[in-house]
Structure 1
Amino acid sequence: MSDWLISLEGTAAGKDVALALALLAAFLHALFGALQKGRHDPWISRAAIDASYGLIAAPFALFVVPWPEPHMWLIFLGAFVIHAIYKVLQAMTYTRGAYSVVYPVVRGTGPLFAVLAAGVVFGETYNGWQWFGLGLLVAAILGLAAWNLRKVTEGRDQMIPALGFAVATGALVAAYTTYDAWGIRATADPFTFLAWFFMIDGIFIPLVTARRWMRLPGGEILPLLKRGVLGAFVAYFSFGSIMLATRLDKVGEAAVLRETSTVFAALIAWLVLGDKVGPVRTALMALIALGAVIMEFAG
């Protein structure tokens, strides 16, 4: 599998596979966000997911994939720090603001920062039409957040700090996307990076939330553990897909395509939760998709 993926790097077929992987990551990321924002404390939900994917990844990291090269240990340390900061900001965002508002802000600011960072780190360049597509996508996502904000009645006094945390979280999304893209390209086997990343990344939030777990009623633990295992597998395919996409194609394009997750999030809310979409939100979602299409195919 690794040899096949590596053989696709820099090819037209690799670009097509990267496109499919980025769209898969978008759908799964929307599902992942919904799992974390459910009826439980976002910190506890995230801890259940992280502990699950860390434990499941451990035997693969230790006994299946090739061991990391010596230079990878510092890269893993950097990834651990960046993702820890991201998770803290994300939990603080979800704790303070309505998910329908803060999620689009995080996902709307993330691709803009990611494209700029990829230009600096990887020297990626984009033409005028691609910048137009990016601008259209970002504007439509933020417009979706603004439209959803109109319907928020509870906790409006917390929305300004929540939006500030959402923008900061978007910046960290760009930071970890760019950094991890560099990390997965720095090792010979991409699955080595993924297995060790998940094992290491599963440590921080469970440790931070240990006291909260001790205060949980007994009846809450099993549902959280079930959600954690489900979230773990969603995370494997979501994060794994976007990281493989960044190895096969441009980091900026993959990051932009992933942010169509806002469209999938709205569709999940409509089809599963019975949320009304309406003409305005439908038009904004169409613009998000159009911006992503322009960004991808104008290159």
Structure 2
Amino acid sequence: MEINSRQQFMTQTLLPIALVLLSGMFHSVWNLFTKLSLNKSVFLWWTQWVAILVYLPTVIYELQSHSIEPTGYLLLLGTMALHGLYVILLAKTYTIGDMSQVYPIMRGTSPLLVPLLGVLLLGESLTFYGWLGVALIVAGVLSLGGWRIQAASKKPVYYALAVGIIITSYTVYDKITLAYVPPLTLNEATNVGNLIALSYIALRSGMIKQEWQANWKTILLGGVLAPGAYILFLFALWMAPVSQLAPMREIGTVFGTFLAIFLLREEQGPKRIAASILITAGVILLGIWG
């Protein structure tokens, strides 16, 4: 009995948490690659091609053992649209804003909204300590974003908030879709949606060849890490409530902040370190007592 309880704890608690934390790390790395690219839309367009081709064999294998009902295909169209809008807004946000400013705002919107929607729409629940963890994560992420906004810097913040709302939408939507579509197939559909959304912008830019020549290594890595990060998160969602896991994914904000400090040389201060501690504490509260 004790062994079964231990195995159940590992499967239902520790494994989803580990997947989400790894997902957050991957997410911060490919966002760094995007920020360093020449043309953000073209870079992301190339990564979608890599992602589709790399993960296609796993999708074919998955579909051999999972049949999808018509409802599932309809839901996939919705997730393709949401992710396509997300990637367009993401490219624009990184074009006009600093990573250390916009990344925390983009990632800080959903930790509060997703648990609320999970409770209200999906019938999930969090303990008092879980909500306290959410509050710490949101406070930490928003502190990282630097909310003393100058008039000239409002536009990146507005775009970052829009991205955060889209992240909230597709996170809850994809949790529902997982009841009809397996994770690898769902992720592949998001990649196709992203590619379709970016194609007109990328082809019109005239920078497809130039971007590949300048950044083909990070394009290849980003094409593996970006969908890989979301696949890990989708498998975690398959095992645990979205209201608990979505805020924990924002540990990626801590990774992103330190990448911005050491690689992009963006200005940071002691406040950023304190904010990272808040986020980490919130993740621990959610993971253990949420």
TM-score by length of 2: 0.87
Match of 1:203 in 2: 196
Measure how far apart 1:171 and its partner are.
1.0
Contact 1:65 1:191 survives alignment (8 Å): no
Mapped partners of 1:219, 1:197: distance in 2: 26
- Evaluate the alpha carbon distance shift between residue 209 and residue 220 of structure 1 in structure 2; reply closer, same or farther with a 3 A threshold: closer
Counterpart among 238, 259, 267 of residue 250 in structure 2: 259
Match of 2:68 in 1: 69
- Evaluate the alpha carbon distance shift between residue 25 and residue 218 of structure 1 in structure 2; reply closer, same or farther with a 3 A threshold: closer
> Do structure 1's residue 173 and structure 2's residue 171 form an aligned pair?
no
Mapped partners of 2:188, 2:38: distance in 1: 28
SS of residue in 2 equivalent to 1:69: coil
Mapped partners of 2:209, 2:105: distance in 1: 35
Match of 2:96 in 1: 96
Unaligned runs of 5+ in 1: 1-9, 151-155
Mapped partners of 1:292, 1:69: distance in 2: 34
Match of 2:40 in 1: 42
Range 99-108 or range 138-147, more displaced? 138-147
Contact 1:45 1:227 survives alignment (8 Å): no
Mapped partners of 2:47, 2:84: distance in 1: 14
SS of residue in 1 equivalent to 2:236: helix
Q: Report the AA paired with residue 241 of structure 2.
A: K
Mapped partners of 2:61, 2:136: distance in 1: 46
- Evaluate the alpha carbon distance shift between residue 146 and residue 46 of structure 1 in structure 2; reply closer, same or farther with a 3 A threshold: same
Measure how far apart 1:199 and its partner are.
4.5
The superposition leaves residues 31-80 of structure 1 with CA deviations (integer Å, 9 ceiling, x where unpaired) of 01111111412111211111221233334434664265132211110111
Mapped partners of 2:112, 2:208: distance in 1: 42
SS of residue in 1 equivalent to 2:38: coil
Match of 1:25 in 2: 23
Range 243-252 or range 289-298, more displaced? 289-298
Q: Report the AA paired with residue 33 of structure 1.
A: N
Mapped partners of 1:165, 1:274: distance in 2: 23
Mapped partners of 2:10, 2:61: distance in 1: 31
Match of 1:13 in 2: 10
Q: Report the AA paired with residue 30 of structure 1.
A: S
Measure how far apart 1:271 and its partner are.
4.4
- Evaluate the alpha carbon distance shift between residue 218 and residue 86 of structure 1 in structure 2; reply closer, same or farther with a 3 A threshold: closer
> Do structure 1's residue 223 and structure 2's residue 217 form an aligned pair?
no
Mapped partners of 2:223, 2:212: distance in 1: 16
Q: Report the AA paired with residue 184 of structure 1.
A: L
Mapped partners of 1:87, 1:138: distance in 2: 23
Measure how far apart 1:122 and its partner are.
1.7
TM-score by length of 1: 0.84
Contact 1:35 1:227 survives alignment (8 Å): yes
Counterpart among 152, 159, 165 of residue 153 in structure 2: 159
Q: Give me the CA root mean square deviation.
A: 2.6
Contact 1:52 1:202 survives alignment (8 Å): no
SS of residue in 1 equivalent to 2:36: coil
Mapped partners of 1:200, 1:85: distance in 2: 9
Measure how far apart 1:129 and its partner are.
2.3
Counterpart among 238, 257, 268 of residue 247 in structure 1: 238
Range 200-209 or range 289-298, more displaced? 200-209
